[in-house]
Amino acid sequence: MTDLQAGLVAAVSGDQRRVSDGESDRALHAADSSVHRPVRPELVVSPSSTGEVSAVLAVAHAHGVPVTPFGAGSSLEGHVIPVAGGISLDLRGLDRVARVAPDDLTAVVGAGVTRSALAAAAGPHGLFFPVDPGADATLGGMAATNAAGTTTIRYGKMRANVLALEAVLPGGSVIRTGSQAPKTSAGYDLTGLLVGSEGTLAVITELTLRLHGIPEHAAALRASFPTVEAACRVAVAAVGAGVAVTRLELLDHAAVEALNDHLGTGLPVGACLLAEAAGAAGAVGADLGLLRQLAAEEGAVEIVDERDPDARARLWQARHDVTYAMAASAPGRKEWSTDTCVPVSELPGAVAFARAELERLGLRAPILGHVGDGNVHVALFVDPDDADEVGRVAELVDRLVGDALARGGTCTGEHGIGLGKVAALEREHPDLLPLYRGLKHLFDPRGILNPGKVIRLAD
Ligand SMILES: Cc1cc2nc3c(=O)[nH]c(=O)nc-3n(C[C@H](O)[C@H](O)[C@H](O)COP(=O)(O)OP(=O)(O)OC[C@H]3O[C@@H](n4cnc5c(N)ncnc54)[C@H](O)[C@@H]3O)c2cc1C
């Protein structure tokens, strides 16, 4: 055993099984489901408390060994790939829901708690946590990527739902940001900074999260349109009219076909808007009624209310599973999903541009969107060994990022930067790079935390 391994074993309470150099552990921590090439860590270390995370980081810092935090590994831009080797720090052992406080509408959870585990703990209190990325991610990973989901239009992203964090700096010191109060104006917002920092500044060990009451009543509506442009125009009109939806999702005809083929949803082929409203029954009816009217005015070919809770749950489950369905139908291919986000009024133009570019480049891919947030995904599945295809997809991604920026938008609405969007971030915020590098140096002077992600340390 090397000095490093011995130090790490001591850091995890002498439990040798939690410092692994086994082939399968290393392979499981080498990749995500994206197109980025796997790189194996030398070691996988699995702490189970804040104290152990602190001890591991102190050892790694002393040895100058890279550490890449790992939650559920569901991120999509190569975030968890340990490109510089070293340690993959698997945080799933921090899996304790420490407290659900119904009177405060908060929960305190370990970073390794998954969103389904939190749902199970909060549900009996009539509460839920609203951020729902498709995967059963960890709350630590969701905070680190500032994740969003289908309900972001109503409840916001992770940053809006994290009140406080406990985190460990590379040298091992433990910091606590924010407070248990519903709001604070105390000092620089380090909670907001660590949310979205993708494991490059600190390792999050515990989170205080906002919970919300499960609404008394919810209903969904789905509307099918002959063109995706018409569906987008309805989304823009609904947002502009202040229709109080909790979800507003777009599937183009190719995405609908994928759902029908793989999940047997039987939707009419065409572009589809899925919406949900929640609250008092009267208000829900009024909001969905207005949406129905907007959809009819844009020539919807079918508009269906989904009031039955089971049918509604099946509809949203199908929406969440669409990417898995597409992946299953493309064996050997890897996901490369775009994630541009534009002001909602720019949505029809952004989607039309994406469709035109797909056609120009001879590519076929479904377009999905959290359109109430202006967020568009072109879901490509690519053969990483086909240089021509990879080149065309890279060109598409580059063109879509350029288009989003020209429309006042951003290269990523929710997936984050990881490895894949480092150049796009430089393009989006060239003037901020010195500040980003200064922050990175302040938190992580030896550059051991998740190197190669978010920013390049020098030009
Ligand atoms: C089918 C599918 C659908 C998806 N849909 C969405 C969606 O709608 N919205 C969305 O936002 N995302 C979506 N994603 C992406 C993914 O689920 C999110 O990025 C999620 O937040 C990642 O969480 P994780 O626990 O898997 O983190 P990981 O992938 O393990 O890690 C993500 C990043 O966070 C860092 N990290 C992990 N834990 C910690 C910690 N405790 N402290 C510090 N850094 C840490 C890692 O180093 C890495 O940089 C989807 C993914 C899939 C596979």
Please work out whether the CB of residue 134 comes within 6 Å of at least one atom of ligand 1. yes
In ligand 1, the atom with minimum distance to the C-alpha of 68 is: 47
Indicate whether residue 87 lines ligand 1 (CB < 6 A).
no
pLDDT value at residue 272: 95
Q: Give the residue-averaged pLDDT of 357-378.
A: 96
The protein residue with its alpha carbon nearest to ligand 1, atom 13, reads 133
Alpha carbon 283 to chain centroid distance?
A: 30
Q: What is the pLDDT of residue 71?
A: 98
Report pTM.
0.96
Question: What is the distance in A from the centroid of ligand 1 to the CA of 137?
Answer: 6
More confident residue, 82 or 317: 82
Percentage above 70 pLDDT, the chain: 100
247 alpha carbon to ligand 1 midpoint, in Å?
21
CA 206 to chain centre: 18
| Vertex 235 angle, CA 229 and 241, to 5° | 135
Q: DSSP for 317-355? A: HHHHHHHHHHHHTSTT-EEEE---B--GGGHHHHHHHHH
Nearest CA to ligand 1 atom 23: 141
pLDDT of residue 33: 85
Counting every residue written for the chain, the total comes to 459
Q: What domains can you pick out in the chain, each with its CATH number?
A: 1-214+429-459 (3.30.465.10), 216-329 (3.30.70.2190), 331-420 (3.30.70.2740)
**Average pLDDT score over the chain:** 95
Residue 274 β-bridge partners:
222, 249
Structure confidence by residue, pLDDT tens digits, 6-30: 999 999 999 999 999 999 999 999 9
Question: How far from 136 is each of 76, 140, 441, CA to CA, in Å?
Answer: 14, 12, 32
Q: Tell me how far the alpha carbon of residue 70 lies from the centroid of ligand 1, in angstroms.
A: 9
How far is ligand 1, taken at its centre, from the CA of residue 200, in Å?
14
Once rounded to an integer, what is the mean pLDDT over residues 158-168? 98
Regarding the beta carbon of 338 and ligand 1, being less than 6 Å apart is answered no
Q: What is the pLDDT of residue 176?
A: 98
Between CA 193 and CA 430 the distance in angstroms is 19
CB of 53 closer than 6 A to ligand 1? no
66 close to ligand 1 (CB < 6 Angstrom): no
Ligand 1 mean position, distance from CA 134 (Å): 10
Whether residue 340 contacts residue 376, with contact meaning beta carbons closer than 8 Å, is answered with yes
**Is the CB of residue 138 below 6 angstroms from any atom belonging to ligand 1?**
yes
The per-residue pLDDT for range 322-352, each reduced to its tens digit, is 888 888 878 889 999 999 999 999 999 999 9
The alpha carbon of 269 and the centre of ligand 1 are apart by a number of angstroms equal to 31
The answer to whether residue 315 scores a pLDDT higher than 90 is no
Strands (E), 351-425: 367-370, 375-382
Q: What sign has the CA pseudo-torsion 428, 431, 433, 438?
A: negative
Choose one of 28, 136, 145 to mutate for the ligand 1 pocket test, by most ligand atoms within 8 angstroms of C-beta: 145
* Cα separation, 420 vs 402, whole angstroms: 15
Handedness of CA 407, 377, 83, 63 (dihedral sign): positive
| 138 DSSP β-pair partners | 114
User: pLDDT, tens digit, for every residue of 77-87?
Assistant: 999 999 999 99
CB 372 within 8 A of CB 235: yes
Q: Is 450 in the pocket of ligand 1 (CB under 6 A)?
A: yes
Quote the pLDDT of residue 322: 85
Residue bearing the CA closest to ligand 1, atom 52: 135
pLDDT of residue 238: 96
CA distance 107 to 170: 26
Could you tell me the sign of the dihedral formed by the alpha carbons of 188, 149, 402, 427, in that order? positive
Distance CA 253, CA 225 (A): 9
Looking at the DSSP bridge assignments, the partners of residue 218 are 278
| pLDDT of 1 higher than 90 | no
Cα-Cα-Cα-Cα dihedral sign, residues 58, 60, 63, 65:
negative
Strands 67-70 and 87-90: parallel
DSSP state, residue 227: S
Ligand 1 contacts CB of residue 204 (under 6 A): yes
The candidate with the shortest Cα–Cα distance to 46, out of 1, 112, 96, 98, is 112
Cα-atom radius of gyration of the chain, to the nearest Å? Answer: 22
Is it the case that residue 188 has pLDDT exceeding 90?
A: yes
Distance 72 CA to ligand 1 centre (A): 7
Distance CA 92, CA 141 (A): 10
Distance CA 103, CA 96 (A): 20
Res. 458: pLDDT tops 80: no
The pLDDT value given to residue 455? 96
